A and B are shown apart, each in its own frame.
Chain A
Amino acid sequence: MSSTEASTPPSQRGDRVFGALAKGAGITILVVLAGVALFLLVEAFPALTAPASELPDGKSLIAYVAPLAFGTLLSATLAILIAVPLALAVAIFISFYAPKRIAGTLGSIVDLLAAIPSVVYGLWGIVVLGPAIVPLHEWLADHLSFIPFFAGQASATGRTMLTVGLVLAVMILPIITAISREVFLQTPRKLTEAAYGLGATKWEMIRMTVIPFGRPALISASMLGLGRALGETMAVTMILSAAGVVSFKLLTATNPSSIAANIALQFPESSGIDVNVLIASGLVLFAITLVVNMTARWVIARSNLVNA
């Protein structure tokens, strides 16, 4: 608060230095991001150019990465399908149904789910959730096996794609809930009052005003959650019984692996070209998340225009 001595002209230089420093930091970020792409590309290059016979299993790089990319997308999609409705409901509950006094606390409790490290989710998934939902697996396999997703022999250990989807859903739930709550609170009062004025019940008010108002934000929040689920590593690595197949069956012991999980599983024992192959697969993951995130940003930018 006491900057008395700083009224001399040389301070112009200070201004220039500080400005350059700030600008430099900003440019550093661009450089780092370019570096991420560049260094991954450089280290992936030997794998991109090597003939198929030198790669693992003698398959081409595309044949190696494709099933992994499929597994990545399948697990993330499953997580989103479970998490979005649940997160929406949780956000609505906290914003409109919970007693006002404790709403903030309840929100913090849900946020705690984001504070738990993924390796702990992994342990929990193997030790608690997996065994606990084996009966559900069996029931689904017995009664709903005509649905292709539930076909096949149910896993006896519960370490399936469905379990992984559930765990991922729990992990991304707080992200979607937090953004949704923020937007719900911004619903214009005149809209909600008008709905009540017309004799709407609480649910009808929410359905007619809050949800339409929050929809763009909900979509982009879901995309952010999707991005997180695509890149989640440890929970998938530890829980999933991954066999590298391409299969939509969610209950069996033979599941597609994901790019991130595959890297974590193979990297510690890899050397030579195998490392390059894994980095190439990481590059693919980077590209996928980049597309998802850019789409999310684009949706937000567009909806901001509409709202304004």
Chain B
Amino acid sequence: MLRHRLMPVLGVTAALTLAACGDDNNTGSADSGSGSSESSLSGKLAGAGSSAQEAAQGAWIAGFQSANSGATISYDPVGSGGGREQFVAGGVDFAGSDAALKEDELAGAEKRCGGAENLIELPAYVSPIAVIYNLEGVDGLQLDPATIAGIFLGKIKKWNDPAIAATNEGVTLPDTDIVPVHRSDDSGTTENFTDYLHVAAKDVWTAEPDGEWPTKSGEAADGTSGVVAAVKNGAGTIGYADASQAGELGKAKVKVGDAYVEPTADAAAKILEESKRTEGAASHVWTYTLNRTPDAADTYPVVLTSYLIGCTKYDDAAKAELVKGYFNHVVSADGQSKAAETAGSAPLTDTLRGQIQPSVDAIGSAS
């Protein structure tokens, strides 16, 4: 009896919770990769790694899958370290990482790929990190590295500090407190920002580069959106975030050589040309020691670079073809511009794309 009377109620619950029946393919919002004319590939490919790349990977996957409807590519944003770890262990076919493979990982990765010459590391994602600020009445703030370091260390406390005034002639700076905002979560953005300060302002910033913010001063916020919101809601605040997320906030120009450079995609993309390729790297390992103090006045040095890691040889030839196709899409002009659109990254320069293309072509050809 009781059970019978219960049924309608449970039925309603089921109907409510299961009401969702739509489709998984939102093809409308992702235009198919028209420019790249790969042969239609199929199969499954698993990648993992940097969460900074997540948005760009989403765009690449969408583009690649639209052109190759039989292919399914997954990307797990487990973090750079986790991605490299899983790649070395053979758990994933490719990895995304905000840093090059570390020495102890390199040996494992070479072993996985069957030799040093079979390992591929490519720069895939370059994103300018903007120094964002919220200071009423001040536009076009200009800062040098030592001042930025001083501000984020809490050593420069007021906006009208002589150090700031020195690089902003003719600007009336208010006598208000500076509130520096940093990320409270572990992130590649923080790692690259601290790396920049560590190199470009080494006299002031003594802490090692780290994904976790190393000092105990200033305000902290969760995620890029947290930092942007904190800077926006506060007064006299300054922080760092992907330039594409800055919105209407002021973006400081950073001193490079004798000039001040804005965090534009073009200026950020130049960094790899200004940087030295890692010495002694195998022929398909395109890793760089980023030049945080470039000479060229049109290069923006506060950037996050993220690599794509794979092999030229896979046990399964079809898989190798798939990796090749996907990597091709990533470094193609089309793939790069799509990432720029959706993730706000800086497209790789044509010169660089020309340099790394042979490494992509090498996939599947190695024996």
Contacts and interface: CB of A to CB of B under 8 A. Distances in A.
A238 interface: yes
Pick from A159, A241, A269 the residue with the most CB of B within 10 Å: A269
Contact of A268 (B79, B177, B221): B79
B177 A153 contact: yes
Interface string B190-220: 0000000000000000000001111011111
B128 interface: no
A257 B184 contact: yes
Q: Which bucket holds chain B's interface residue count?
A: 35 or more
Contacts of B297: none
Contact of A269 (B80, B85, B237): B80
B186 interface: yes
Contacts of A131: 233
A242 B217 CA distance: 10
A254 B230 contact: no
A221 B214 CA distance: 39
B150 interface: no
A268 B51 contact: yes
B216 A254 contact: yes
Pick from A56, A157, A238, A274 the residue with the most CB of B within 10 Å: A157
A244 interface: yes
Given A238-B226, A268-B77, A271-B79, A156 B179 contact: yes
A189 B252 CA distance: 71
Contacts of B226: 126, 238
A155 B180 CA distance: 11
Interface majority SS (helix, strand, loop, mixed), chain A? loop
Nearest to B230: A157
A243 B220 contact: yes
Contacts of A274: 81
Interface string A116-157: 000000000010001100000000000000000000010111
B174 interface: no
Interface string A241-258: 111110000000110010
Interface of B: 51, 77-82, 84-85, 177, 179, 184-188, 211-214, 216-222, 226, 229-230, 233-237
22 contacts: A130-B233, A131-B233, A155-B234, A156-B236, A159-B230, A238-B222, A240-B220, A241-B184, A241-B221, A242-B184, A245-B216, A253-B219, A265-B184, A266-B185, A269-B79, A269-B186, A269-B187, A270-B79, A271-B78, A271-B79, A271-B82, A272-B85
Nearest 7 interchain pairs by C-beta: A271-B81, A253-B219, A269-B79, A156-B234, A269-B186, A271-B82, A265-B185
Given A57-B212, A266-B185, A266-B186, 16 more contacts: A57-B214, A153-B177, A156-B234, A156-B235, A157-B237, A237-B222, A241-B230, A254-B217, A265-B186, A268-B77, A268-B79, A269-B51, A269-B79, A269-B80, A269-B81, A269-B186
